[in-house]
Amino acid sequence: MGRTAHVLIVASREDRFVASVESSRDGLYSVRQVAHQLGVHPETIRRLIHDGRLEAVRVGRVLRIDPVAVQGFLERQRVKPGLYPAAAPDLAH
């Protein structure tokens, strides 16, 4: 109980895929795990945390991110339809 397993697909040098399982005892993600999930560099995640845009906790010297915080961040980043108008019509007839 309280233990979740995350399966990651990692490409090896020979372009074969290897599945590895990482366990999170406390249900929190590492900076590296969140970066991998979002397809960004870990430094980007650290910057989001430092800027206050992504909540995290420090466990010892390590930053950990609650999955709910990641979901909240993604919700705040969602682009709403109609918010950005289509390209202006060509005025040169």
Question: pLDDT tens digit string along 19-52?
Answer: 333 445 569 999 999 999 999 999 999 999 999 9
Whether this model's pTM surpasses 0.75: no
Contact 34, 43 (CB under 8 A): no
Residue 13 DSSP one-character state: T
Domain holding 40, by residue range, is: 4-12+26-77
Residue 93 falls inside a structural domain: no
Q: What CA–CA distance (Å, rounded) separates 38 from 31?
A: 11
Residue 37 falls inside a structural domain: yes
Q: Which residue has the higher pLDDT, 68 or 1?
A: 68
Residue 84 falls inside a structural domain: no
Lowest mean pLDDT among 10-14, 24-28, 40-44, 75-79: 10-14
Residue 68 falls inside a structural domain: yes
When divided into structural domains, the chain yields a total of 1
The pLDDT, as a whole number, for residue 80 is: 79
The pLDDT, as a whole number, for residue 90 is: 62
Residue 19 falls inside a structural domain: no
